[in-house]
Amino acid sequence: MCKKGLSVLVLLSLWMCLTGFASLGEEGKDTWNSMMEQLSAEEIDQLLAEENEWYGKVMANVEDSVTIRAEASSDSAAVGKMFKGDAGEILEQQEGWTRIQSGDVDGWVSDEYLAFGKDAEERAEEDVKKIATVTADGLKVRDEANTDSPVIDLIGHGEQIEVGEEEDGWLQIIYSDGEMDYISAEYVEVSYEYGQAKTMEEIAAEEAVKKAEEENRKAFLQPANGSKIPVSASETEKEKDSNTVPDSSKPVSDTRPVTAPKQLDFFGEKLLDLASRLKHKLIGQLFDTYWRIEYNDHLYIIDQHAAHEKVLYEKTVKSLKDRDYSSQMVEPPIILTLNPNEELLLNKYMEYFTRIGFEIEPFGGREFAVRAVPANLFSVAKKELLLEMIDGLSDEIAARNPDSIYEKIASMSCKAAVKGGNHLSAMEANELIDQLLKLDNPYACPHGRPTIISMSRYELEKKFKRIV
């Protein structure tokens, strides 16, 4: 049947839902039956799918997971699992079971654990992220759900953003701190970011990786009784006897003073000079935050966030003072809505922003469009950070000191530093240490926290009662 015929059928279907089959009359019934006879099963499926997004689909109706089986029986072998937020396509149904395709899994799930039709839609609203894709050339983000509210940002064509509920034609943008902004629903297409079922092999592989990581963590934090403290190869023979736990009845006496872990006197210990760097033994990452290095009878612990902050800050300050920078265009531009004091500060210090690579121009009222930023700040030049930077300049109004303004701008670069809890590879960690080594003052982050602390081998042996 042609597309026009399908459209007529859709209208008739809607009318019948409202008025009932009897309202068609005898002639209408004949016409209806004739049209239905012309439709193939595929065309009927197509029609229903076009009118109902959830036709032929299911959502997992569970709080954790449900097993997918090879046959429509609870005694059948498990072939995979659907988790909360997962969706699937209906392939077949029989006696309280539905065969689905989700990800790489093809199998049967009890209808008790699936949501269909309207229930599936409601389940998706609760369990699945909604993603809005911008269909217009640009879309304004507003502080409130009305066109009179200030524009606080622009989103470009094709960009995607997670959204919440729709209210009077406006979609909520919800941030982690609970704050909300709004975009017009008219200029976006909203879709669900469903999960996919996993095969039993995929689940087993993931569990094996987690188990290995947990065992490695326990092995480091809780070494087995009698295990050896790692030492460099050159020390193994020389200090073989000291690597054996002494008999508790015969403690080893030692009069050397025991000192607590401390921030390092790097000038004396030379941890970061080029010759020492070649002898570093990178042991690994702890808590996805700290990197451990063995060198010269000491354990050194580097805070990756503090170290990266220092590297980025020093590089940015140097490039700003040397005017070694380039601009990078921002598309769409960042829209700043300023209060009177912020507008005054921006206009007063505009020459400094321009000098280091910003392109900022009026956008109407007290709004300004940031069309370009220094290339080395591109990844962190967000609306909130720019406003924070402008506000921070208030302390320098009287001094009007270029260095202090440059340092304030450079402090933005700290926001781009790798965070604690972010996993780094050994290659990335070595690169970070190499960059830290090249700085004139690598020993503390811009906020005064140490980048590295140390503990001597002697302190460790005292803690494990190898010596007393």
d(CA 282, CA 401): 42
Task: Flag the least confident range among 78-82, 233-237, 297-301.
Answer: 233-237
* Residue 188 half-sphere exposure toward CB, CA atoms < 13 A: 27
The model's confidence at residue 25, banded by pLDDT at 50, 70 and 90, is: low
377: tokens are 């700040």
Task: Flag the least confident range among 238-247, 317-326, 422-431.
Answer: 238-247
**What integer is the mean pLDDT of 387-410?**
66
316 vs 235 pLDDT, higher one: 316
DSSP helix/strand/coil, 199: strand
Q: Which long-range contacts (CB under 8 A, 24 or more apart) does 162-167 make?
A: 162/129, 162/130, 162/131, 162/132, 163/130, 163/131, 163/132, 163/188, 163/190, 164/130, 166/190
Q: Which residues, other chains included, contact 434 with Cβ-Cβ below 8 Å and sequence gap of 6+? A: 277
Q: Which tens digits make up the pLDDT trace of 127-136?
A: 888 889 999 8
pLDDT at residue 153 in the model? 78
Task: Flag the least confident range among 256-260, 359-363, 439-443.
Answer: 256-260
pLDDT at residue 431 in the model? 87
Give the pTM.
0.41
| Residue given tokens 């909300």 in the structure block | 180
> Torsion angle of alpha carbons 397, 398, 404, 405, nearest 10°?
30
Q: Which tens digits make up the pLDDT trace of 27-86?
A: 665 665 666 566 665 655 555 554 456 678 899 999 999 999 999 999 999 999 999 999
Percent composition of the chain: helix, strand, coil (DSSP 3-state, to 5): 40, 30, 35
- Cβ atoms of residues 452 and 443 within 8 Å: yes
Task: Tell me which residue of 310, 405, 392, 412 sits closest to 354, measured CA to CA.
Answer: 405
Task: Tell me which residue of 79, 78, 81, 85 sits closest to 58, measured CA to CA.
Answer: 85
Task: Tell me which residue of 402, 416, 411 sits closest to 353, measured CA to CA.
Answer: 402
73 vs 174 pLDDT, higher one: 73
Q: Would you say residue 268 has pLDDT above 50?
A: no
d(CA 83, CA 65): 4
**What integer is the mean pLDDT of 259-263?**
46
69 vs 295 pLDDT, higher one: 69
